[in-house]
Amino acid sequence: MILAGRDELDELRDRPLDRSYNAPAGDMFEVEMRILMVASEAAPFAKTGGLADVVAALPRALARLGHFVDVVIPRYRGVAAGEPIARVTVPLGGQVAETTLHAVAEPGVRTIFADHAGYFDRDYLYGAVGRDYPDNPERFAFLARAALEWAAASGERYDAIHAHDWQAGLVPVLLRQMAPPLRGVPTVFTIHNLAYQGVFDASWLPRLGLGWELMSVNALEYWDRISFLKGGIVFSRLITTVSPRYAREIQTPDYGFGFDGIFLSRSADLVGILNGIDYDEWNPARDPYLPEPFDASRLNGKAAAKRMVLEMFGLPVTHEGRRRPLVGMISRLVDQKGFDLLAELGDELPRLDASFVLLGSGERRYEAHWLALAARYPERIAAKIGFDEAAAHRIEGGADLFMMPSQFEPCGLNQMYSLRYGTVPLVRATGGLYDTVRNFDSTTGSGTGFTFDEYSPRALLGTLRWALDTYRNRAAWRRMQIAGMREDYSWDASAREYVEAYERAARLP
């Protein structure tokens, strides 16, 4: 049952008035598309990482190109936004749930929240203190099914359905159970991180309303269990991932997490599209969290941001403290992000001529390691465990170097924020980090950051030493900062590539 009538829904959609304004140059995107997106996070409503940033920014970028996007995410605890727009019945295995959908609308984009207090009114998105909620298969099967029931009941004619990560992996699987014309809508599945595969016991199949025929190597079966991620990969027409380099990497055993064979066999349908960053949210020239605005032509404001970060984190604000290069990190504290390498460095970091600020949360052992380092070296190392949007912006603004020694990195957003904020990134050359950071060349002075290849503490430390030496060469450093600030990682180009992906998926069988 739909609560709002068609007219009200159209109003909610709040179409941009001047279509010609939205029409891009050339005739590629003359036809406006309607896209249904399904994901488990979208900023500012629910965020644990970059997925939320992408699911917030990509729909807006598509809307700027003249398209319409409905994004369905769970109505987690604390999401108060939205007006009720519909009630739909969601069958799942033997159970049937009624859900009210709430929506928030802005021009071209509606964020629709699927409500189920039993599943989503909880302290965390995926699980408490390192343990996933045991009913995650049911929670995210519900999300997928609710999105499809909405699509069926609303009468919207979507041109493509775009699902993100394992939490939405059942969307293309369950779509096969829906009636036409919905069943024939082209599907695109985006992998933001292959390390999270949504693997569960096969006994879930009947409870999720799925047949045992899906327990096959050509379907959901993954080492005798089922994988939602595999469902997304196998049953979507087109697969995308979030950088061209990562699209190549996941076809190799080192980065494929056991899926490399599947990717190789579907390499014609696998596309790498680099994430953009939201230039409204991340712009040092008008970032409300920074003490002074700055940009490539007025870099002085960075000094005020550095001072603020030193104060906030209790590091010395003396002349010496301000002179010393400040290395920032904002991250989930997990192996993926290189925290094992950093831990192996032991007490090497505080011996360098630099200060370090870390903002993050994740594995207890890494939280404990950084808190202990900060306690031992209060003049050099500061760590804040937790999630803090304001502090993240200030670190991006105030740090001199930003460190991301990732083991693998599908795209990574923080290095792009750093480039924009004149904070020189030091990264391992993998995935999106490889695609976005150009290594400094001391003979020509070109480059936007520092990169290293070998995943070892030695390579990381050597590169960090090289970066800190280079920092003393103020002219070279400034050139690098400005080169980074001039790179264009806005969403515009990437959104066009997604439109091409939707069009391509529509042409595929």
Of 194 and 480, CB closest to ligand GLC: 194
Scan residues 335-364 and list those touching ligand ADP (CB under 6 A).
359-361
Alpha carbon distance 47, 43 (integer Å): 6
Scan residues 239-268 and list those touching ligand GLC (CB under 6 A).
242
50 sits near ligand ADP (criterion: CB under 6 A): yes
Alpha carbon distance 35, 453 (integer Å): 38
E strand or H helix at 415:
helix 414-420
Q: Three-state DSSP class for 114? A: strand
Q: Residue with the closest Cβ to ligand ADP?
A: 50
Q: How far is the CB of 130 from ligand GLC (least distance, A)?
A: 17
The DSSP output letter for 417 is H
Residue 295 token pair: 């940009």
The one of ligand ADP, ligand GLC, none whose footprint includes residue 33, by CB under 5 to 8 A per kind, is none
Residues 109 and 45 sit within 8 Å (Cβ to Cβ): no
126 sits near ligand ADP (criterion: CB under 6 A): no
Phi, psi of 106 (to 5 degrees): -140, 170
22 sits near ligand ADP (criterion: CB under 6 A): no
Distance of CA 326 to the CA centre of its chain: 26
Scan residues 14-53 and list those touching ligand GLC (CB under 6 A).
49-51
Q: Three-state DSSP class for 288? A: coil
Of 22 and 415, CB closest to ligand ADP: 415
Of 51 and 86, CB closest to ligand ADP: 51
330 sits near ligand ADP (criterion: CB under 6 A): yes
Task: Give me the 286-325 binding string for ligand GLC, x by CB under 6 A, dash otherwise.
Answer: ----------------------------------------
Residues 309 and 395 sit within 8 Å (Cβ to Cβ): yes
Alpha carbon distance 403, 391 (integer Å): 16
Environment class of 293 (CB within 10 Å of its CB; exposed 0-12, middle 13-18, buried 19+): middle
The one of ligand GLC, ligand ADP, none whose footprint includes residue 388, by CB under 5 to 8 A per kind, is ligand ADP
Q: Residue with the closest Cβ to ligand GLC?
A: 50
Output the 3-class SS for 429-486: CCHHHHHHCCECCCCCCCCCEEEECCCCHHHHHHHHHHHHHHHCCHHHHHHHHHHHHC
Stretch that binds ligand ADP, among 147-155, 249-257, 328-336, 347-355 (CB under 6 A): 328-336
Distance of CA 253 to the CA centre of its chain: 23
Scan residues 380-419 and list those touching ligand GLC (CB under 6 A).
409-413
Scan residues 430-489 and list those touching ligand GLC (CB under 6 A).
432
Residue 338 token pair: 């290189």
192 sits near ligand GLC (criterion: CB under 6 A): yes
**Total interface residues for ligand ADP by CB under 6 A:** 18
Interacting residues with ligand GLC (CB under 6 A): 49-51, 54, 192-193, 242, 275, 409-413, 432
Interacting residues with ligand ADP (CB under 6 A): 49-51, 53, 330-332, 359-361, 387-389, 392, 411-414
